[in-house]
Structures are given as C-alpha cells and as structure tokens.
Amino acid sequence: MTIPAVWSRLALRLGTGLAVAASSLVLSAGQIPQVTFRAGVDLVDVEVSVLDKNRLPVRGLTASDFTVLEEGSPRPVVAFTAVDLPPRIMPAAPWMEQIAADTHTNSFAREGRLVVILMDRTIAPDEYPEARRIAESAVSQLREGDMAAVAWSLHGVPQNFTADRSRLLEVIREPVVNMPASDTRGGECDCGRCSINTIAQVAEAVQDINWRRKLLLFIGSRIPGRGGTACAAANEPARQRALRAAEAGNLTIHVIDPGGIRTLSSGAASQSMRAAMAGAEARRVGNLLAFTDPTGGRFVHRNQASEVLPEIFRESASYYVLGFEPAYAGTDGKFRRISVRVNRRDILLQARRGYYAPGRPAPRLPELGDDVPVALSGAVAGLWPRTNVRLAVNAAPVALAGVRGGVVAVVVNVQYDADDARPTSSTTQLSLLVGAFDHTGRAVALDRRQLSVAPQTKGNGPPSYEVAARVIVPPGRYEIRAAVDDSTLRRAGSAYTYVDMPDFARASVSLSGMMIQAGQPEGPVPGASLADLSPVTPTARRRFARTETVTAFVREYQSAGRRFMPGYAVTEITDSSDTRVYEQQQRIEPVGEEHHPMDFRMDLPIARLAPGPYLLTFEVRHGNETARRDVRFDVE
C-alpha cells in the first residue's frame, strides 16, 4: 500500500461526488465543511495524540483546532475523527479474556493500538526478572481492539500481532519453543546493529497501517549511537532507516531500562574515573533519547519500571485521526514531510511526520520459490496481513505416521463484502498459498494450489466459500499465513493464525486440534484432502445458527512404547456468565492389546443454547497427566 488504503478504497467505491458526511469516518456535520472529492482521490491520514503537561490526553478538540502542513504549505483537514478507546472491563467469565479464538480473521477492529514489545539483547541476566515484569505489565494493559506482538533483537518475532494474552505471555517467558529459557543472549549482532535493525523492521512493518496508534516498547539498556567510530558509521544507515520509518508510520518509541537507576561509581573511585563514567552514562542516555524524543516517547530509567506501563498506555487511550488531500500528485516514491500543529499551549503532540508518495520500490518478498506469484508472496510478506479480501483461517495440528511432529490441517474461509462484485458464474478461480513460518520469518513448509470453487450464498448474506490446505512441520511454534488471490475480486488477501505442534510421539498425553463440522457438507472442502486426518469435514466458521447440526472432533494420543493409561474424557460448554450449561464425562479404556489413538466425536447441543458466546472445552485425564483443547463459538 502507498497512502491510506482504507480511505482510498472508500473514495474509489463511492466515486464522484463523495462528500464528507456524518459517519464512522468523521464527526457530526458542522465541525468541518462539506467537501467534494474527485473520483479516486487518496487521503493521507494522520493519527495524532495531544497530551497536556502531565502527559494526559487532551480531549474535546475539533478539526478547526489543527493545522496540517505538507512540505511547509498548509493543507485543509477534510476528514476528522476523535477516537476514545473503551476502558478495560473485566468480563463475568474469565475465559472471555483468557482464551482466544482458534479461528483468526483479517477483519480487525479499525481503531485501537498496535503494541510491539521488543526484548533487546542488552538486557543483563540479573535484569531479566524486571524485563519480564515490564513486558507482562504491557500485556495486562491491552484493551478490546488492541493487538500486540513480541520481538527479540536476537530471535526475530516469536509472536506476531495477536490479542491472545496467554500466547504473548508464553513467548515473553520463553522466546522459542524447545530453546532453554536461559539461552537468550547468543547469536550474531555486529556493533549492536541487530537492535537498530529490529526497530527498523518493526517500524516498516506497521508503517502503512492506518487509524491505529502504534507503540514500540524497547526494553533494554542501550542502543548504538552516532560518533567517530567504525561501528557508528556502519550503523548510521540502519539508524536513519529506523527513524524515517517511525516518522512515516507515527510509531512512538518508548525505551524502558530494566536496570533502573544506575550507580555510576563508588566513593573510592578517582575523580577522572567518575568523570569518565558520567560521560559514558550521558552518551548512553543520549543514544536512547535519540529514538524517544523524535517520536514523542518516554525514556524510563527508574526502579520498578513496570509500574510506568499504565501511564504509557493512558497516553494513547484517546487520539484523533485527520485526513487531508495531498498536494503532491507525483509517483516518484519520495518521502513527503508533514507537520501537525494544534492551537493549544503547553502540549506534547505525537503525530505522523511524513508519508511516501506512490512509486516506492516494492518491499523485499520472502523466498518462497519461483513458482509462487508476487500477489501471493506479497500477501504473506509482512507482519500485518493483507486485508483486501476478507479471510478467516483455522489451523489444527494432527499426528502423522512416520513424521516427527505432524501435519497442520488448515481451512480458509473467504467471504465477499456486500459491495463486492458477485461471481458472474457458478465458480470462481483462485490461487491459494498456505505456509508455516518460524520465529525468524522463514517458511518451514508451503502448500500452494490452483482451485476452482463455487461460492455459496446463505440467506441475504454475501457469497462465501472454504478451501483446505495441509503443511507438515516438526514440533514447535509456528505462524500459519494463508493467502488467496481471487479471480472474481481481482485482488489478494491474507490472514494469519498460530499453531503449536506437539511432539506427539514423546508426550505422555496429547490431543490433536479440535475440528468443527457444521451441517451436512455435500462433499469435502476444495483443496487438500483432510479425510485421513478427521472423520468430519472441518470448517473455519465459529458462528452457528440454532438450527444447524454442529459436531466437534478431537483425537487423543499417548506416547508410543508405554502402557495405555485408562482415564476420563470431559466435555463442557460454558456461557458468558461463566455458567456451565453442558457437561458430559466418559470413561477411556484401552481397545485391544495394541496402543492406538482414540477418536472423540461430540454433537453439540446448539439448539438448546441461547444466542451468545460460548466456550467448548474438551479435556482428557489420566491420573496426573492431562491434555485440553478450547474452542470459542457463537450461537445466533
């Protein structure tokens, strides 16, 4: 994307005569004048946080309070929205906050925060407890609509953007599955450049995401800076790249030092030694401020730094989105500097400082093979999925004979928007790409297919269809990225989800992912065959009508070579008030003398459930050994 895709698509769809009206994009009429756009016009949007002298959000401003300048020349504000994020409300049922959906969509809330928690290589071993407290405190501050990612300057991005608090906490405490928790300081990082490069990669990843406030929480003690050394010269391009991307994407960088207040020297040190240490400390702080000051962030170096996180999140709880029509109509891809002013005194303003004109070189695409089209590889290239097509993706790990690890069964749901072009025939052609990516962004396994599908329309809704894929991976944690290039829509989209592949052969007790079938499918899902993995036809849907027949399936495994342990299987359904509305328990006994996986198939009592959200839990218990799967679903 170049400049804001959301507003651009709106203008393209509505065409000539689009007026700024009272809608979700603007405030009520009268605050800004009616403006008519030329067909296909792009707006540049600017997210602005206005803070008072106590760094508290200033609310109640209108479009007339702001001035936007592009390359020093004023531009009229033609669209305006004030955003107040909802307060965090603890639900009656703890599971509604603690357990994330197993189907992930790319239809995100438009407003909210994107938070990247960056654990840097400069965290000393004795500082890790406080560093983890800082990161955990950040997770606890997330509200509805917020998403967070966890990055390590030496380990890539073990957790991409998600609202799943439990998964975020897991990778904060252990960045890579099967890596010892203490093994966090190895790897190559010439001149400390990996710290700067990680900041740059994060800033570029979120640069073109609109309407959200973006925060980078750098947890570490130092960032390489300028100077006359060879390292400083080698680091300068990365430093400029990081700051330019932060300016273009309105990324606020906060540096939080887990070492707290530092003692420079003992009383016995010489005056020259104390002066040298003071100078070194001043340079260290100055290098950190070089990233916080230009972006409006904080430098926190105090004991119990984790206590500052509520204040940092409060700053971005209220902000404004301004839209202006760019003066420059060229396509040279150059950076256009903008500045925002507000007619208030004694304020701190955090705002985007520029945008790139159309024509920028395309970002580097992942190495997925020469046969993967650019539309698909580009859709899975970044930390943020491509939202041009509405997708939902579900991934379930299943053991596979002769494979250490297993196969991930993937179902992708594609739904047309109400104003999308309807298929002109009974079928549409599409390209499907599904990949399993590790924490470094490397593709571990791929499944690519050319398919012909028949979109189905239910009721008055838009057409939709589902396709299937499968990838084989060893034990570990993976991000599953699915992309679809639809010939009817003439555009590509992607959605990301996550899967933990157990070591089925070695785990005492383990479960496959839970697969859900809705209704009586007419045949298998187009794409990869999943018949050898499950007796049900899985769907990525998790919203069901009370008239539907819904069946859940899960398979239990016990480690090979050990005596089968009898036990119990418990199925429960819990509602949003934390009331158990369904429970079934059955005894698990060995079948025959040989040890085989055991299948469990459950018909859910959907017709007896009131409309609303529910949690389906399946757990097997064998003495002290247990395994559990949870699935959230809704009844219409």
Strand duo 598-604 + 612-622: pairing? unpaired
Q: Do residues 307 and 324 share a domain?
A: no
- 437: helix, coil or strand? strand
pLDDT higher than 60, residue 357: yes
Residue 548: the pLDDT is: 94
Domain count, the chain: 3
Q: Do residues 412 and 463 share a domain?
A: yes
Buried b (16+ CB within 10 A) or exposed e, 127-157: bbebbbbbbbbbbebbeebbbbbbbbbbbbb
Spatial distance between the Cα atoms of 379 and 484, rounded to a whole number of angstroms: 8
The answer to the question of residue 441 being in a domain is yes
The answer to the question of residue 397 being in a domain is yes
Q: What mean pLDDT is predicted for residues 318-328?
A: 93
> What are the tens digits of pLDDT across the range 281-296?
888 999 999 999 999 9
CATH number, domain with residue 427: 2.60.40.10
Residue 39: the pLDDT is: 35
The answer to the question of residue 361 being in a domain is no
When the pLDDT of each residue in the chain is averaged and rounded to a whole number, the result is 86
Instruction: Name the least confident of 126-130, 303-307, 388-392.
Output: 303-307
Residue 227: the pLDDT is: 77
Last-in-domain residue among 356, 383, 407? 356
Q: Which two tokens stand for residue 146?
A: 């917020």
Q: Do residues 549 and 602 share a domain?
A: yes
Last-in-domain residue among 303, 329, 356? 356
Buried b (16+ CB within 10 A) or exposed e, 239-271: bebbbbbbbbbbbbbbbbbbbeeeeeeeeeeee
Residues 133, 199: contact at Cβ < 8 Å? Answer: no
Spatial distance between the Cα atoms of 46 and 324, rounded to a whole number of angstroms: 8
Contacts of 271 (CB under 8 A, 6+ apart): none
Domain span at residue 72 reads 5-85+319-356
Q: What mean pLDDT is predicted for residues 145-150?
A: 95
Q: Of the candidates 337, 371, 383, which has an alpha carbon nearest to the alpha carbon of residue 357?
A: 337
> What are the tens digits of pLDDT across the range 443-479?
999 999 999 999 988 766 788 999 999 999 999 999 9
Contacts of 351 (CB under 8 A, 6+ apart): 46, 47, 48, 49, 250, 339, 340
pLDDT higher than 50, residue 128: yes
Q: What mean pLDDT is predicted for residues 165-193?
A: 72
Q: Do residues 134 and 224 share a domain?
A: yes
Q: In the structure, what pLDDT confidence band is assigned to residue 441 with cuts at 50, 70 and 90?
A: confident
Q: Do residues 301 and 210 share a domain?
A: yes
The residue with greater pLDDT, 343 or 189, is 343
Q: Do residues 383 and 473 share a domain?
A: yes
CATH number, domain with residue 287: 3.40.50.410
Q: Do residues 242 and 172 share a domain?
A: yes
The answer to the question of residue 487 being in a domain is yes
The answer to the question of residue 269 being in a domain is no
Centre a 10 Å sphere on the Cβ of residue 589 and count the other Cβ atoms it contains: 9
> What are the tens digits of pLDDT across the range 9-40?
333 332 322 232 322 223 332 333 333 333 34
Residue 274 has, within 13 A of its CA and on its CB side, a CA count of 8
Q: Which helix (H) or strand (E) holds 485?
A: strand 476-486
What DSSP state is assigned to residue 456?
Answer: B
The answer to the question of residue 364 being in a domain is no
The residue with greater pLDDT, 592 or 15, is 592
pLDDT higher than 50, residue 180: no
Residue 538: the pLDDT is: 97
Q: Do residues 334 and 388 share a domain?
A: no
Tell me the C-alpha to C-alpha distance, in Å, between residue 350 and each of 73, 239, 288, 297, 339: 20, 20, 18, 8, 10
Q: Do residues 123 and 237 share a domain?
A: yes
Q: Do residues 21 and 62 share a domain?
A: yes
The answer to the question of residue 222 being in a domain is yes
The pTM assigned to this predicted structure is 0.87
Tell me the C-alpha to C-alpha distance, in Å, between residue 274 and each of 263, 270, 281, 282, 578: 11, 6, 10, 12, 60
Q: Which two tokens stand for residue 108?
A: 């995100």
Q: Do residues 74 and 122 share a domain?
A: no
The answer to the question of residue 285 being in a domain is yes
Q: Do residues 500 and 469 share a domain?
A: yes
Spatial distance between the Cα atoms of 604 and 572, rounded to a whole number of angstroms: 10
Spatial distance between the Cα atoms of 558 and 505, rounded to a whole number of angstroms: 7
- 477: helix, coil or strand? strand
Tell me the three-class secondary structure of 545-605, residue by residue.
CCCCCEEEEEEEEECCCCCCCCEEEEEEEEECCCCEEEEEEEEECCCCCCCCCEEEEEEEC
Spatial distance between the Cα atoms of 464 and 455, rounded to a whole number of angstroms: 5
Residue 156 has, within 13 A of its CA and on its CB side, a CA count of 15
